[in-house]
A and B are shown apart, each in its own frame.
Chain A
Amino acid sequence: MSAIKFINQFPAEETFDYDKRIKLLRKRKVEQTEEKARNGGANEDDYGLIVQDEFQYKLKPNHENGSIYGYKAWTENYCAILDSHPLYCDPLDAFVGKGFLFLERLRPVTCKWNPAYPFDELKVLFDKYNVISGIDNCHHFTPDLQIGFDLGWGGILQKLKEQRALHDESHYEFYDSEIAVVEAIIRFLKRCAAELKELGDQEQNLYLKENLYEMSRVNKKVADGKPETFREAVQWMCWFSMLSRTYNRGSAGGQLDEMLRPYYEKDIAEGILTDEEAVFYLACLFLQDSRYFQLGGPDINGEDMTSKISYLCLDAADKINIACNLTIRVHDKLDEKFFKKSVAYLFKNKQGWPRYSSDSALAEGFMKCGYSLEMARKRVAAGCHWMCIPGMEYTMNDTVKINLLKVFEVAYQEMMADKSEAPSSENLWKRYEKHLKVAVDATGNGIMHHLKYQSKSQPELILNLFQHGLIEKGVNITDGGANYYNMCVDGSGLAVVADSFAACEQRIEKEKKLTYEALTKHIANNFEDEDGEYIRQLMQHSEKYCGGDSLGDIWAKRVSKLYTELVRDLNVQHPGINFIPGFFSWSNTLGLGSTVGATPNGRKAGEAINHGANPNGGFRKDGAVSSMCNSIGAIQPGYGNCAPVQLEFDPGIVNDAEGVDKMAAMIKTIMNTGNTLLNINIIDANKILEAHKDPFKYPDLVVRVTGFTAFFAMLTPEFRQLVVDRVTSVNGNKINVE
C-alpha cells in the first residue's frame, strides 16, 4: 500500500524547480493509479482517492440494516471520520488535501434509501422499463465556491450560528448538524496545519522543509479564515474537494479561471506570485482531483471571460498531463488564440482534455425553460455531461436514466402478442408512445419522491453550505433550499431504438424482405436459429441513425421529439419543478443493455446499448464525423441539457498546424450546428489493444470514457472492451495485423 507521508525522501542539499517537482508528482500519481487499478479499479472518475492501509473507518449505523439515515447519523459519522482522518502529505506538492474514502459508500449497497419511505409501486414500473430512478443518489449539482472564498469556514460557521438564532426549533436539526460538521472541518484543518509544521521540523531537505512550513502557514490560515492569496485560494479548493468527496463524493466545478483571477491579479500586482508559480499551483490542483472546471466562455454580458489565467490553466494541465476534466465553452467571441491552443494541446497530449461545450445551444435551450440569457450563461460545465448554475440549482444531473430500449422491447412484445391488430411500425410507435409516457411519468414521480424524503435519507451537509440563500432558509437543498429545481431526466439507447424502428420499416414494410412474425422468431432465438445470422445482417445494414437523412435519422428525431414532450409534460404534473430532457448513458451502456433481449436492428441479447447520443457502429461506410454530428445536433432536446457527441480519432489525424486548424474548424462547426457538448478521444488503436491485454503496460494512458476522463488501467475488463470497441470501430483499419 502507498505511504501517506513522504518525509526525508531526498538528501538535505538536493534542489528542486517546479518542473522537477511536477515530474516527480506525476510519477507518484501514475504509481498510485496502478496500485488502485490492481486493487480492482472502477468505471468512473479518478477522484484523486489514495489507496492506503493506515486508516479504515467503520460505519456507525443508526438502523438495523446497517445503514445510516438522516441528519444525526450522517453528522456523527462524518465528524468521527474527520476527527480520526490522517493527513496525506507530499512535500513536493504545493498543497495537502488527499482523501481516502467516501462516507456514502460505507453504507450497505442495497440499503441506501431510508426504508421508512418506500416506493414499491414505482419500483414495479422502474423494473418494467429499466429506469434508473436517481432516488437516493446524491450531490450532482454544483456548489458556488465563491461563498467559501468570501466567508472561509469560520465565516460559514458564524453565519450558521447567526441564522440558527433567527429560526424556530423546527430548523435546529439542520443547523445543529451543519454547525457540528463545520466545527469538525475547522478542527481537522487546524490539526493538519499543526502537523505540517511538525513535518517541516522533521524534513531534512531544506527546500522541502521550507515548503512544508509554507504549507502549514497557508493551512492555518484557511482552516477558518478566508483565503486571500492565490495559493491560499487553491489550497482552500483542494480541501473543499477532499471534504465534499469524503462526505458523499460531492461535486464541485465552476468557472475556474474567473474564480481564481482576482487572486492571481492581486498577487501578481503585489509581486508575490509569478506565472511559473501559478502554473505549478494549478498543476497541483489538477493532480489533487479530476474535478470538472470550465474555462473561457461568455460572461453575463456576452463578453469573453478568457484571461491570462485561462491560458495558465491550459499550461498547467499540459504540464501535469493526467486525467483532467476541463471544458471550454465555445461562443462567437471566444479568444481564438486560446481556442487554438486548447485544440493543439488536445491533439498533442491525447489525454481527452479539454472538451468543448456550445454556448449558443446551451443558452438558447435553457432560456426556453424560462431563464434569462444572463442566468443561462452562468450555467457552467460541472459534470460528465451536465451544466449547473453554481449555488443556485438542485438538479439530480446524470443520476436519472430511462432505458428507451427496454421501453421499446415492452412495446414490441405487446404488439406481437396482440393479434387484433396487424403489426406495423406505426402500430409499434403508438404502443411505444403509450409505454414511454408511463415510464417518464413514473420517473417524474420518482424524482418527486426523492425530493420529498431525501433529507430523511441523506442530507447534503457539505454542498448545502455553498448554496445561495440556503443557510438563511435553514433547510436541506431537497426541502426547498435551492433557488431552482431543474431536474435532469436522461434517455438512454436512442440509437438502438431509432435503428430498430428504421430496420422494421425498411426491411419489413418497404422492401418486404421478411415479416414481423419471422423477425420476432429470430429475435426470440437471439438470431441463432436457421437463417438467424442472415436476417441479423439484413437488419443491421438498414439505414441507420447518423447516416445522413436516413430512415434511422428520421426515427431518431421522432423519438427525441416524443421524449422531449413527455419529459416537459412533467412540469404540468408537478408545478414548480422544471424537468429537463437529455440523452446520455454515462457508464451504464453495459448494464442497460444487459436487461434487453435481441432487438430488430440486429443487436443481440444483452449487448450494450449505444453510448450517450452516439450512433451504433457502422452508421456509415465512411464513418463521417460530419454526418454523425449533424444527426446528433438534430436530436438535441433543446432545453439546456445535453446529448453529447463522443468522437474517437486516430492520432494520425493531426500531424501539423494545418491539421490543428482543420480540427479547430470541425469543433467550431459541431458547436454551431445544434450540438451541446463534445468529447474527443485521440487514441492509437494498436496502443489501446495492447493496453487492453496488459493494462499496466501503459498505466498513464488516459481515455475519455463517457463524460469523464479516466486512467484506462482503472477500468474493468468489460468497460475496457467497450472503449476498445468504440476506438477500433473508427480506427480499425490502423490496427497492425500480425
Chain B
Amino acid sequence: MMKGIVTDIQRFSLNDGAGIRTTVFLKGCNMRCSWCHNPETISAHSQLMFYENKCIGCGKCFQVCPQGAHKMVDGKHVIDRDLCVNCGKCTESCYAEALVMCGKFMSTDDVMKQVRQDKAYYDASHGGVTISGGEVLCNSAFAEELTDKCHKEGIEVAIETNLSIPFEKVQSLFEKVDFVMCDLKIFEDELHKEYTGISNKVVLENMKKLDTLNKPVIVRTPLIPGVTDTKENICAIAEYIKDMKNLQRYELLNFNPLGEGKYRSLDKENVFEKARPLSAEALQELQSVLADMGIEYKIV
C-alpha cells in the first residue's frame, strides 16, 4: 500500500470545493510562491515547527536534542536550523505541543479512517474529499490510490492543483477525480517565474488540455497585493479561461494572512508579512471588471 507524506487532514472544510469536505493536505510543492500561506507544505520532508506562544519554558527539549539545536539567545528560545536534522526527538518530550513535526507518512488506509467518518456530511451536502497540497500532482500516485478508495466508498474527490506538471504524467489522476480546482496565479510569464519560481507555460497548456476531459473546473487566483491583484492580470486570466466549456466559475481568493504564524514557527522569512486582504472597494473594482467580461465569478 502506498504511503504519502501528509501535512494535515482537515475535516469539516467549507472552502475547498462543493459541500462539506475533508481536505487532505499533502506535503511537497514544485512552486515557490513567495506569498504561500501554507509554507509548511512546500518541503517534501518532515519539518520541525516551533510555536513559541505555546512554550511553557520547561526546557525538556534542550535535554533531549541530540544535535544541541535548541539554544537560548538573549533570553529567547531559538532553534538552530543549521544543526536541526528534523529528527523529532524534541517533539516527543514537548507535552505543550509547542514543538511539532509537520508531515507524517500515512497510508491511504490511514487517511481513509478519518475520511470516512464524515460520509454522512458529504452525502447531505454533495461534498467529499479534497486532496490539496503542497502540490497534489507531485504526489499523484498516492492521490490516485486515495481517489480509488474514496470512490469505492461512494465519496467524491476533488483536487486543488497548480497544474504545473506535464499533462501526460498526471492525466490518469485528472481522469479519476470528480472535480478540479486549479490555480492560475499570474498570466505574464516573467512575473510568474519571478514570484513562483517556474514558468506558467505548462499551466496554461494544461488548462486547455484539462478542458478536454469534461471535468468540472474552478480556476482560482489568489489576490496578492501588488502582485496578482492588478486589473491587467485578472483580465488576462479571465480572457484566457472564459471560453473553457467545463469552467464552473472563476474564483478570486482574497489574501490570507493566516500563514504568518507558520512562517515564524519554521523560522522562515515571510516576504508578505505586512500584506493585508484587499479592501471591499478594491474587490468591487475587480468584480466590475469580471462582470463586464460576462464570466461567472466568486470572491472567496
User: A residues bordering B, Cβ < 8 Å?
Assistant: 531, 533-535, 537-538, 541, 548-549, 620-622, 624-627, 630, 653, 656, 659, 661-662, 665-666, 668-669, 672-673, 733
Contacts and interface: CB of A to CB of B under 8 A. Distances in A.
Nearest to A533: B56
Contacts of A630: 117-118
Given A537-B56, A653-B14, A669 B120 contact: yes
B58 A659 contact: no
A7 to B, nearest CB: 46
A621 B100 CA distance: 12
- Interface hub of B56, B95, B124 (most chain A Cβ within 10 A): B95
Nearest to B113: A549
B56 A627 contact: no
B231 interface: no
B97 A666 contact: no
- Interface hub of A537, A620, A653, A656 (most chain B Cβ within 10 A): A537
A537 B95 contact: yes
B274 to A, nearest CB: 14
A659 B300 CA distance: 11
B121 interface: yes
Contact of A626 (B20, B58, B60, B113): B20
Nearest to A668: B124
Contact of B12 (A538, A626, A661): A626
Contacts of B114: 548
B12 A622 contact: yes
20 contacts: A533-B56, A534-B58, A537-B96, A548-B117, A622-B9, A622-B10, A624-B10, A624-B118, A656-B298, A659-B14, A662-B14, A662-B20, A662-B125, A665-B121, A665-B126, A666-B124, A669-B120, A669-B123, A669-B125, A733-B258
A534 B60 contact: yes
A625 B125 CA distance: 14
B10 A666 contact: no
Interface string B1-45: 000000011111010000110000000000000000000000000
Interface in B47-73: 56, 58, 60
Contacts of B121: 626, 665-666, 669
A669 B12 contact: no
A653 B13 CA distance: 11
Nearest to A633: B120
A46 to B, nearest CB: 32
A495 B95 CA distance: 21
A539 to B, nearest CB: 8
B118 A626 contact: yes
A549 B116 CA distance: 12
Contacts of A620: 11
From DSSP, what is the main secondary structure of chain B's interface residues? Answer: mixed
Given A626-B20, A665-B20, A549 B117 contact: yes
Contacts of B127: 662, 665
A627 B95 contact: no
A673 B118 CA distance: 11
A531 B96 CA distance: 12
A541 B92 CA distance: 12
Contact of B125 (A533, A653, A661): A661
A669 B95 contact: no
Interface of B: 8-12, 14, 19-20, 56, 58, 60, 95-97, 113-114, 117-118, 120-121, 123-127, 258, 298
Given A534-B95, A630-B117, A665 B124 contact: yes
Contacts of A622: 8-12
Contacts of B124: 665-666, 668-669, 672
- The list of the 9 closest CB pairs from A to B, nearest first, reads A665-B125, A624-B11, A538-B95, A537-B95, A624-B12, A537-B96, A665-B124, A626-B12, A669-B124
Nearest to B300: A655
A537 B94 CA distance: 9
A733 B37 CA distance: 14
A665 B19 contact: yes
B95 A535 contact: yes
A212 B97 CA distance: 66
A531 B95 CA distance: 11
Contacts of B11: 548, 620, 622, 624, 626-627
A666 B96 contact: no
B51 to A, nearest CB: 12
Contacts of B56: 533-534, 537
A669 B118 CA distance: 10
A680 to B, nearest CB: 14
Contacts of A656: 298
Given A534-B56, A665-B121, 19 more contacts: A531-B58, A534-B95, A537-B97, A538-B95, A549-B113, A549-B117, A622-B12, A625-B12, A626-B117, A627-B12, A659-B14, A662-B14, A662-B125, A665-B20, A665-B126, A666-B124, A669-B121, A669-B123, A673-B120
Contacts of A533: 56, 58
Contacts of B9: 622
Given A534-B58, A653-B14, A666 B125 contact: yes
A668 B20 CA distance: 12
Contacts of A537: 56, 95-97
Contacts of B12: 622, 624-627
A537 B51 CA distance: 15
Contacts of B97: 537, 541
Contacts of B58: 531, 533-534
A644 B57 CA distance: 39
A402 B60 CA distance: 40
Contacts of A531: 58
Contacts of B20: 626, 662, 665-666, 669
A535 B60 CA distance: 12
A627 B12 CA distance: 8
- Interface hub of B9, B20, B113 (most chain A Cβ within 10 A): B20
A672 B120 contact: yes
Nearest to A667: B124
- Interface hub of A549, A621, A626, A661 (most chain B Cβ within 10 A): A626
Contacts of B117: 548-549, 626-627, 630
